[in-house]
Structures are given as C-alpha cells and as structure tokens.
C-alpha cells in the first residue's frame, strides 16, 4: 500500500482538513500513524484517489456502483449496526461496552428488536460442536420452512428463535436454557474460557454489511425461509477472506514457531500476500473487537511475538481474526474453535438482517456491467 501525508491528501481531494477527517471517521479513507512522527497521520493513497475521482465527476455511474461494493459507500439502509469513528454500535449501543456484561441471547433480543431474552436451544445431547452438523440441520429445514415474505415480524421472530436453536444445537450442544457461552465452554471442557467466549460471541454477532450478511440479505430479499438466509450466510462465512481468516493467522504462528515472527512476516510480504492478522479497512486506529477481547486472557508468547513484530513492520494493529486465534490457543480450544464461535455469533446478525430485509419488501437485484465478447447482431423479424 502507498500512503500520503495530510498535505498530499488535501491537495488531491481539493478539500478542507475537516472533510478529510470526516472521511476517515466514516471509513472511506484508511489512515495510520506516521512512523516518523506519531503525532501525524498518513492516508491510504488508493482511498484518496477514489474519492478525488468521484468529486471530480470523472467516473460513470456504473463504475461508482461497481466500486461501492468494495468497501465503498453504503448501498442500503439498516438500523441494526454501524461503525462510527472506530466504534461498533448495535442499534445505537456501543458493542464493546455491551459485551462487558451481555450474553449472545441478550444480543439477539437487542438486534431482533425483541424485549425478551431468548431460549438458547432444545437438546441435552452431549456432543461436540460441529459446523458440518449445522449445515446439514439448516439444509433439512430449508425445504419445509415457510417462505419469509408476507409474514408479520412477530411470526418471523418466533421462527428466528427456532432457527437459532437449530444452529445452537449443532454449534453449542448442551442442556436447554443454559446460556450459549456456557454450553460452548462445557462442550469443549474449558469452563475457564466461558467469560471470554461470552464476550467474543457478543462482539461478533453483527458487523454491518459484510460479505456473509449481504449474502443473507440477498437470500431474504427473494422471500426464502429464514433458515435459508442463515445457510447462505454460513456458506459465505467459510471463505478464507472472511470467517476462515483465522487459518491465515494460524499459518503465521506456525511460521513464527519455525523461523521467528520477523522472518515469517518478511516471507509473507515478499510473496505479495496480505497478512490476515493485521488491519481492518473500517478501523483505521485498530479493530475495536480485537482490543475489547485481547485484554481478558493471557496472550500466548508466540502470538505476543507476532503482534509486536507485525504492528511495527506493517503499521497496522492486530484484528479480530488474530484475537480469535489467540483466544483459541490461550485456552487450548479445538483448532476449528474460531469458525465455530464466529458462525454461532453471526447467525444472530444474519437473522436480524433477514427480518429487516423482509420488512423492506425489496428484492436486491443489481445489474452487471458486461465485459464479455461483443454480442452477435440480432436480426428482428
């Protein structure tokens, strides 16, 4: 990435400093402290150029639309969550503060606009958390659950309870009416991890219009069952650029064990690869979810080594993918624990967005900008 000084960014944007800072706070321009002078900031050149071109009116409407889905401007309205000035908010409540005491069930009640706390499951079977079981259970519901269109929000909330119970029975099996974080800790036989699991579940419940949530909203906009929206979100979450990014962190830790953090990072950067553990475009000053989680468990030594070296070399703070992988290592959780935690938590957000999308009554159907071979001449008769 190339970076600009404030003077260079202002010259490119032809705007006032206040406008530059506002664009940073809204996540439109990424910024980081200047290594030569921590009192100053540097600004991501590609973000500045994108906004400069927009303001100059040199881009066609279809180009604007295409770039909007790549960390661009908002593409639809939502009252569920947002990121403002480096803080994550759930319906106006600071998510990091909310995570100090709330459970995932209470988070669901907040995001679903329901006042009651939720029952978290229906089974007492003592099995291990399984992503495969969640996929199969959701797929089994899709063919029998009712479509979501034409139903009241009260009816959809009742069904959302059932869908969350289906997911919970697969990802956090345990006794009915036990809080999900306790069920998860007990299923992994790690009671000492319970409070950190609770905090992580709350922090990961929603994150505005990320890839899996957008997928879930598209599915819901077609009128599919709520179980189908969660299934589609879950499938998207498994991608290595999304919920499975923790595997990239694990790979860095393995390399750190073998050759040391600095050499591991140098190799990764020399190969032209991005480093999954550091930075987030919506958090110029550091991923608030990571900082809200990392202070509540002892950081394993290799993670501490990687964090120190990476933040110095890359100039970005560690993100929530790093925090999840570190938490799993600190409590000796199963290797797939990060994706289990992420999937269980984010199911709450997918259901909230699905219900909001159904209420809007709109089908999400963007147009494609055709870039293929010239169409054959059509002879009209």
Residue 137's nearest CA partner among 269, 228, 272, 54 is 228
CB 6, CB 44: distance < 8 Å: no
Q: Structure tokens of 118?
A: 């939720």
What is the maximum span of the chain, computed from C-alpha positions, in angstroms?
76
How many residues comprise the chain? 381
**Which residue(s) pair with 89 in the sheet?**
82, 94
Q: Residue 112 to residues 184, 259, 351: CA-CA distances in angstroms?
A: 22, 47, 8
Give me 305's structure tokens: 């080594």
Contact 243, 212 (CB under 8 A): yes
Pairing of strands 3-4, 93-94: unpaired
Instruction: State phi, psi for 294 to the nearest 5 degrees.
Output: -70, -20
**Cβ atoms within 10 Å, residue 167:** 27
Examine the residue annotation and report whether 242 is marked as an active-site residue of this protein.
no
Exactly one of 161, 181, 280, 353 is catalytic; which is it?
280
- Which has the closest alpha carbon to 111: 360, 347, 343? 347
Is 321 a known active-site residue?
yes
Catalytic residue among 47, 169, 287, 321: 321
The H-or-E segment that residue 257 falls in is helix 246-259
DSSP state of 287: -
- The answer to whether 70 and 281 are in contact (CB under 8 A) is no
Q: Which two tokens stand for residue 294?
A: 């990392």
Neighbours of 70 (CB within 10 A): 8
CA distance 327 to 342: 13
| Host H or E run for residue 162 | helix 153-171
**Residues annotated as part of the active site:** 280, 321
């Amino acid at each position: 990435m190339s970076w600009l000084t404030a003077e260079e960014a202002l010259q490119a944007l032809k705007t006032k400093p206040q406008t530059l800072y506002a664009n940073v706070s809204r996540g439109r321009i990424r910024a980081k402290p200047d290594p030569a002078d921590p009192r100053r900031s540097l600004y991501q050149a590609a973000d500045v150029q994108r906004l400069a071109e927009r303001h100059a009116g040199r881009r066609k409407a279809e180009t604007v639309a295409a770039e909007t889905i790549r960390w661009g401007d908002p593409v639809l309205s939502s009252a569920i969550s947002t990121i403002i000035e480096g803080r994550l908010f759930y319906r106006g409540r600071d998510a990091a503060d909310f995570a100090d005491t709330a459970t995932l069930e209470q988070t669901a009640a907040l995001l679903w606009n329901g006042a009651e706390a939720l029952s978290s499951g229906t089974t007492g079977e003592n099995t291990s958390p399984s992503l495969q079981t969640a996929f199969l259970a959701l797929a089994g519901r899709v063919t029998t659950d009712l479509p979501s269109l034409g139903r009241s929000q009260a009816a959809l909330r009742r069904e959302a309870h059932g869908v969350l119970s289906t997911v919970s029975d697969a990802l956090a099996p345990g006794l009915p009416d036990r809080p999900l974080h306790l069920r998860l800790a007990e299923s992994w036989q790690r009671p000492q991890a319970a409070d950190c699991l609770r905090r992580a579940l709350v922090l990961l419940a929603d994150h505005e219009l990320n890839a899996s949530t957008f997928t879930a909203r598209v599915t819901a906009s077609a009128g599919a069952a709520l179980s189908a929206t969660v299934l589609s979100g879950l499938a998207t979450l498994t991608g290595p650029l999304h919920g499975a990014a923790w595997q990239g962190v694990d790979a860095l830790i393995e390399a750190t064990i073998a050759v040391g953090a600095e050499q591991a990072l140098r190799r990764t950067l020399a190969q032209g690869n991005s480093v999954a553990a550091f930075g987030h475009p919506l958090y110029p000053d550091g991923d608030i979810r990571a900082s809200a989680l990392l202070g509540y468990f002892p950081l394993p030594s290799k993670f501490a080594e990687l964090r120190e070296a990476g933040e110095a070399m890359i100039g970005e703070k560690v993100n929530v993918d790093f925090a999840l992988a570190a938490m799993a290592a600190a409590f000796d959780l199963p290797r797939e624990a990060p994706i289990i935690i992420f999937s269980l938590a984010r199911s709450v957000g997918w259901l909230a967005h699905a219900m909001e999308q159904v209420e809007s009554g709109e089908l999400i159907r963007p147009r494609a900008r055709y870039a293929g071979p010239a169409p054959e001449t059509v002879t009209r008769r």
